[in-house]
């Protein structure tokens, strides 16, 4: 017993140490930690019954020979997933999800943002053409105005005005209770991430973009959408973050590592919760109340460049499986959209970009996952 206790304490100390060391360099790492709304940061209700977490999936289409949109609902169903997020407004996709019970979160392309900011008619025309004809049969829950644009001045300067106009247009058609208007952020919006209680947004966008943006979300009862990649945080901080800490560690292991936030005393057993709480802290640092967060992307790649050994099938399986189990137990519920449905071989950039799918481009499963009961 004493031995176990000592091991735990040494690990706790060690991980505090390594995280402290990584802190020194994290201001130079542009996209490390992330989001979330938290009251009971990193604590779980060990005695409460499991309740179903909301698990969705991202449907990106930069792949050659992907199955046609009409084949997607049954593939999504076969994964026991009921929520899908897209990166566009393609009516063929929206139609294919009609009467399936699967919800859709859509996205307005980035290049529309500047004109949407000044032209309400443009926003109304988008809603009239891409939403009105379909919303009765397809459950549309959200529209993201652009994707990860908050650090790009050519878009971010127009972002809030564009979101306001899209919301006005949706309201004009009386759909604002059903369809939330938001936008997705990468965690690069945080300039400081560790310890999570001290996290802040980049100064260049904190007061000018995110403060009015989050106020808009609060006013319209909409969630803050953040893309959370423990894999990237792990990779960028290598070797300071232990792999099993990024992979949620097995439950009940006597050697479970913990990271303790030195300012709050909150103990964390995984990187995901740290990333979520850092977003929460950054929101508070703007003097704003908490806001519900949706994790609009999360996942683990199965392959990367040579030397990216943590990107493999087994780690991806373990990460996604334990993510779902973690979300079942998590005190503070947070919906997530796994990235992604398919491998996308036409993505450019690092090799890792092409290998985030639960499915190969041809629709067959890359590894076994058990998300049932349906979530
Ligand atoms: C505003 O958008 C409408 C609808 O798309 C378009 O017809 C009109 O030309 C736009 N106005 C300006 C000033 O761009
Ligand atoms: C799908 O693609 C994967 C990877 O290329 C391959 O291993 C698998 O055999 C393919 N399945 C079918 C049914 O073609």
- Angstrom distance (rounded) from CA 221 to CA 10: 44
Name which of 58, 70, 139 is nearest 101 in CA terms: 139
Spacing, Cα 15 to ligand 1 middle (Å): 56
- How does pLDDT run across 38-52, given as a tens digit for each residue? 323 333 333 344 568
Structure confidence at residue 191 (pLDDT): 97
- Angstrom distance (rounded) from CA 293 to CA 6: 36
Structure confidence at residue 30 (pLDDT): 29
Mutate to test the pocket of ligand 2, among 354, 364, 365, 366 (most ligand atoms within 8 A of CB): 364
Structure confidence at residue 253 (pLDDT): 80
Structure confidence at residue 337 (pLDDT): 98
- Angstrom distance (rounded) from CA 140 to CA 142: 6
Query: What is the average per-residue pLDDT within 249-266?
Result: 90
- How does pLDDT run across 193-223, given as a tens digit for each residue? 999 999 999 999 999 999 999 999 999 999 9
- How does pLDDT run across 318-345, given as a tens digit for each residue? 999 999 999 998 988 999 999 999 999 9
Domains and CATH numbers, the chain: 9-18+31-354 (3.20.20.80)
Indicate if 148 belongs to the active site. yes
Query: What is the average per-residue pLDDT within 164-191?
Result: 98
Structure confidence at residue 37 (pLDDT): 27
Sign of the CA dihedral with 268 first, then 270, 273, and 274 last:
positive
Spacing, Cα 138 to ligand 1 middle (Å): 28
Greater model confidence, 46 or 159: 159
- Residue among 49, 122, 148, 325 flagged as catalytic: 148
Indicate if 297 belongs to the active site. yes
- Angstrom distance (rounded) from CA 95 to CA 130: 10
User: In b/e form, how buried is each residue of 22-54, taking b as 16+ CB within 10 angstroms?
Assistant: bbeebeebebbbbbbbbeebbebeeeeeeeebb
Q: Pick the residue whose CA is nearest to atom 13 on ligand 1.
A: 119
SS3 content of the chain, % helix, strand, coil (to 5): 40, 15, 45
- Angstrom distance (rounded) from CA 176 to CA 166: 10
- Angstrom distance (rounded) from CA 204 to CA 190: 11
Name which of 187, 204, 254 is nearest 35 in CA terms: 187
Mutate to test the pocket of ligand 2, among 359, 362, 363 (most ligand atoms within 8 A of CB): 362
Q: Residue 338's beta-bridge partner residues?
A: 57, 298
- How does pLDDT run across 16-27, given as a tens digit for each residue? 434 433 433 333
Query: What is the average per-residue pLDDT within 299-314?
Result: 97
- In this structure, what token pair is assigned to residue 146? 């652009």
Spacing, Cα 221 to ligand 1 middle (Å): 29
Q: What is the DSSP string of 68-117?
A: PGGGHHHHHHHTT--EEEESS--HHHHHHTTTSS-EEEEEE-GGGHHHHH
Q: How many CB atoms lie within 10 A of CB 303?
A: 16
User: Is ligand 2 within 6 A of the CB of residue 14?
Assistant: no
Greater model confidence, 20 or 352: 352
- In this structure, what token pair is assigned to residue 297? 């992307």
Ligand whose nearest atom lies closest to the CA of 119 = 1
pTM: 0.88
Structure confidence at residue 23 (pLDDT): 37
Q: Pick the residue whose CA is nearest to atom 5 on ligand 1.
A: 122
Q: Residue 139's beta-bridge partner residues?
A: 103
- Angstrom distance (rounded) from CA 351 to CA 353: 5
Mean pLDDT across the chain, nearest whole number?
Answer: 88
Q: 């449907």: which residue's tokens?
A: 59
- Angstrom distance (rounded) from CA 375 to CA 371: 7
Spacing, Cα 166 to ligand 1 middle (Å): 14
- Residue 40 and residue 305 in contact, taking contact as beta carbons nearer than 8 Å: no
- In this structure, what token pair is assigned to residue 46? 């060990």
What share of the chain in percent tops pLDDT 90?
81
- Angstrom distance (rounded) from CA 39 to CA 290: 9
Name which of 367, 363, 374, 301 is nearest 71 in CA terms: 363
Ligand whose nearest atom lies closest to the CA of 359 = 2
Query: What is the average per-residue pLDDT within 72-90?
Result: 97
């Amino acid at each position: 017993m004493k031995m176990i206790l000592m091991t735990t304490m040494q690990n706790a100390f060690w991980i505090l140490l390594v995280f402290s060391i990584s802190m020194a360099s994290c201001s130079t790492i542009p996209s490390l930690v992330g989001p979330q709304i938290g009251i009971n940061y990193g604590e779980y209700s060990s005695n409460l019954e499991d309740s179903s977490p909301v698990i969705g999936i991202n449907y990106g289409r930069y792949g050659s020979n992907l199955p046609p949109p009409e084949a997607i609902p049954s593939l999504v169903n076969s994964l026991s997933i009921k929520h899908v997020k897209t990166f566009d407004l393609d009516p063929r996709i929206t139609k294919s999800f009609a009467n399936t019970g699967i919800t859709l979160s859509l996205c307005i392309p980035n290049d529309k943002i500047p004109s949407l900011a000044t032209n309400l008619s443009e926003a109304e025309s988008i809603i009239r053409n891409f939403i009105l004809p379909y919303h009765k049969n397809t459950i549309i829950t959200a529209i993201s105005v652009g994707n990860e644009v908050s650090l790009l001045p050519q878009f971010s300067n127009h972002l809030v005005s564009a979101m306001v106009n899209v919301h006005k247009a949706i309201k004009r058609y009386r759909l604002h209770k059903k369809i939330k208007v938001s936008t997705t952020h990468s965690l690069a919006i945080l300039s400081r991430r560790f310890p999570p209680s001290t996290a802040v947004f980049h100064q260049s966008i904190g007061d000018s973009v995110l403060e009015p943006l989050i106020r808009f979300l609060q006013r319209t009862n909409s969630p803050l959408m953040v893309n959370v990649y423990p894999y990237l945080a792990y990779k960028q901080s290598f070797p300071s973050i232990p792999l099993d800490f990024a992979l949620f560690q097995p439950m009940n292991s006597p050697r479970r590592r913990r990271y303790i936030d030195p300012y709050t005393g909150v103990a964390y057993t995984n990187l995901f919760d740290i990333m979520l709480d850092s977003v929460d802290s950054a929101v508070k640092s703007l003097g704003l109340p908490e806001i519900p967060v949706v994790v609009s992307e999360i996942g683990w790649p199965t392959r990367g460049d040579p030397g990216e050994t943590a990107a493999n099938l087994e780690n991806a399986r373990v990460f996604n499986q334990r993510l779902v189990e973690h979300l079942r137990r998590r005190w503070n519920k947070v919906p997530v959209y796994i990235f992604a449905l398919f491998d996308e071989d036409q993505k450019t950039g690092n090799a890792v970009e092409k290998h985030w799918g639960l499915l190969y481009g041809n629709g067959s499963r890359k590894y076994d996952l058990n998300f049932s009961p349906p979530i």
